[in-house]
Amino acid sequence: MPLNTNFAAIDLGSNSFHMIVVRIENDQIHVIDRLREMVRLGGGLDDDRNLIPEAEARALACLEQFGQRLKAIPSGNIRAVGTNTFRRIRKPGAFLKRASEALGHPIEIIAGREEARLVYLGVAHGLPTSSEPRLVVDIGGGSTECIIGRGFEPMQRESLEMGCVSMTRQAFPSGILSEGAMEAAVLRARLEVTPVRHDFTRDHWFEAVGSSGTIRSIRAVVQEQDWCDSGITAGALKKLRRALVKAGDVESLELKGLSEERKPVFAGGVAVLSGVFKELRIDRMRVSDQALREGLIYDMLGRFDDEDVRGRAVTALSKRFGVNEAHAIRVERAAVALLVQLLDAWELDATECTELLAWAVALHEIGLAIAHGQFHKHGFYLLTHADMPGFTRQQQYILAAMVRGHRRKFPDKLFNEIPKPRRVPVRRLCVLLRLAVLLNRMRSSANLPLARVAAEGDVLDLRFPDGWLENNPLIRAELERENRYLEPAGFVLRFE
């Protein structure tokens, strides 16, 4: 555990931006600050999925405010993630750069199923311990996550492309709340749930739990009207839909417990939850006050306590595709030995780079499960599209790019997709992976020397024991070819 016990998690949703700041005392989390701003980023995408200037301005202003609160917290204790709208922006790179600069901390875009995992982690830590399976539903602005888990472990995860903002835009664009519009919206939600219904119906779980601002708002309204005694029931939801239709339009909504800022997207959220209730046969749902941001906190703490789910994901994937573990271990030893010698020269973070290099080594031959020819390209495809719990989209892409670049022509264009602050170290780590694989070409530890390496920028000098290269002409030939592969990318490899 780090000496500084303050942590911060930032959840950049399609409807609201949230930040939570906590202090760890006696292994317990104590919330010391919460910030929330209704940014409505999801409503700021045009038909071509470009972010309109007004929405971007709202987002950057909010992030600058959040950034002020983060200044006293170490960077390693902060995690900021973008969800559905960040995933949907056509070309997110430029906005992501401006947003990260406004916050003063890198923002990661997470996939829908990773969002589901983190939501479950946050919710599970806020509930009484139980060995029974639970269904967790989280309705955001642009997506709805459904998870079945037991204890702290999610067993089934899905992310559906519907949320309170997107459903409101599609079903109630003019703000009219007619009976026909509400029925059509609920049907639209049911159709979105139908493909995953079999895995999430009542037979698979003991209790249903809802999280997110949408579900908490619905709970507040039905409780204020005394439509149910606790949580949310199917009957209370039916009465709520009738009340919305009776109001006739969004501007006329006057319901106890409904805030003014939630009002514009409330009907869309009710339709989504109603569709989930109907398709998954939910009679009653309890409501959690914890969600994604708390999950981010617990996920960070798990990494500090050697419970990093990313390592487990890499191990599971390597076993699934039958990676040769003995060879991977040999390559990892060589790669880490080279890395240690270059940490200072290249100003690399030892922990982060060792982890990334080890993961890339563990998966560099994953493409062999498809075919030997061009297996590095098959590996890139698999890692780009695989479900890897704990990894953000950017982290997963970096890992895929390193695997793609570990042999043959150096794919510089792939690395250009990585943000500049990380691009240089990742390219260099890929070169070390290439060298470690090359030195283990014989797939045996026999007669493999401890190579000395030094670097000045992207010029590397490899030194072998006297006479070793003369006795291993194949390795010398491989190094000469490797230098030709690396030269167009700006690297120079010298050896003797």
What is the CATH code of the structural domain delimited by 308-495?
1.10.3210.10
- 78-82, strands of its sheet edge to edge: 28-37, 17-25, 6-12, 78-82, 107-109
What spatial distance separates the first Cα and last Cα of the chain, rounded to whole Å?
Answer: 44
Lookup: tokens for 299: 């996920």
- Is it the case that residue 252 has pLDDT exceeding 70? yes
Helix (H, G, I), strand (E, B) or coil at 256: coil
**Alpha-carbon span 177 to 448, nearest angstrom:** 74
- Cβ-based neighbour number of residue 280 at 10 Å: 22
Q: What is the mean pLDDT of residues 107-130?
A: 91
- Is it the case that residue 303 has pLDDT exceeding 80? no
**Alpha-carbon span 69 to 46, nearest angstrom:** 31
Q: Per-residue pLDDT tens for 211-227?
A: 989 999 999 999 999 99
Q: Cβ distance 29 to 314 under 8 Å?
A: no
**Alpha-carbon span 479 to 470, nearest angstrom:** 13
Position 257 confidence tier, pLDDT thresholds 50, 70, 90: very high
φ, ψ of residue 46 to 5 degrees: the values are: -85, -175
Sign of CA dihedral 316, 319, 320, 324: positive
Q: Cβ distance 63 to 17 under 8 Å?
A: yes
Q: Per-residue pLDDT tens for 354-393?
A: 999 999 999 999 999 999 999 999 999 999 998 888 888 8
- The one-letter amino acid at 440: N
User: Which pLDDT value is given to residue 94?
Assistant: 87
- Is it the case that residue 447 has pLDDT exceeding 70? no
Residues in Cβ contact with 451 at an 8 Å cutoff, skipping those fewer than 6 apart: 334, 337, 338, 439, 462, 463, 464
Q: Per-residue pLDDT tens for 49-104?
A: 999 999 999 999 999 999 999 998 998 899 999 999 999 998 888 899 899 999 99
**Alpha-carbon span 217 to 233, nearest angstrom:** 14
- Is it the case that residue 445 has pLDDT exceeding 80? no
Q: How many CA atoms lie within 13 A of 181 on its CB side?
A: 21
Q: Give the domain ranges of the chain.
A: 6-109, 113-294, 308-495
Q: Cβ distance 413 to 405 under 8 Å?
A: no
Q: Cβ distance 436 to 361 under 8 Å?
A: yes
Lookup: tokens for 472: 């291993």
Nearest C-alpha neighbor of 81 from the set 393, 399, 349, 416: 393
**Is the pTM here over 0.85, yes or no?**
no
The per-residue pLDDT of the chain, averaged, comes to 92
Which of 232-236, 300-304, 325-329 is the most confident on average?
232-236
The percent helix, strand, coil of the chain (3-state, each to 5) is 55, 15, 30
User: Which pLDDT value is given to residue 351?
Assistant: 82
Helix (H, G, I), strand (E, B) or coil at 11: strand
Q: What is the mean pLDDT of residues 455-476?
A: 91
Residue 465 backbone zone (phi > 0: left; psi -120 to 50: alpha; other: beta): beta
User: Which pLDDT value is given to residue 129?
Assistant: 80
Distances (CA, A) of 342 to 345, 353, 437, 456, 490: 5, 11, 17, 10, 18
- Is it the case that residue 157 has pLDDT exceeding 90? yes
Q: Cβ distance 182 to 146 under 8 Å?
A: no
- Cβ-based neighbour number of residue 207 at 10 Å: 14
- Is it the case that residue 305 has pLDDT exceeding 90? no
What share of the chain in percent tops pLDDT 90? 76
User: Which pLDDT value is given to residue 444?
Assistant: 76
User: Which pLDDT value is given to residue 4?
Assistant: 62
Helix (H) or strand (E) holding 147: strand 144-150
**Alpha-carbon span 410 to 135, nearest angstrom:** 46
Query: May I ask the CATH architecture of the domain 113-294?
Result: 2-Layer Sandwich (3.30)
**Alpha-carbon span 403 to 78, nearest angstrom:** 28
Q: Return the bridge partners of 10, or none.
A: 19, 80
Nearest C-alpha neighbor of 438 from the set 406, 415, 468, 410: 406
- Is it the case that residue 27 has pLDDT exceeding 80? no
Same fold, 6-109 and 113-294: yes
Position 18 confidence tier, pLDDT thresholds 50, 70, 90: very high
Query: Measured at the alpha carbon of residue 393, what is the angle toward residues 388 and 398, in degrees to the nearest 5?
Result: 90
6-109 folds as Nucleotidyltransferase; domain 5 (3.30.420)
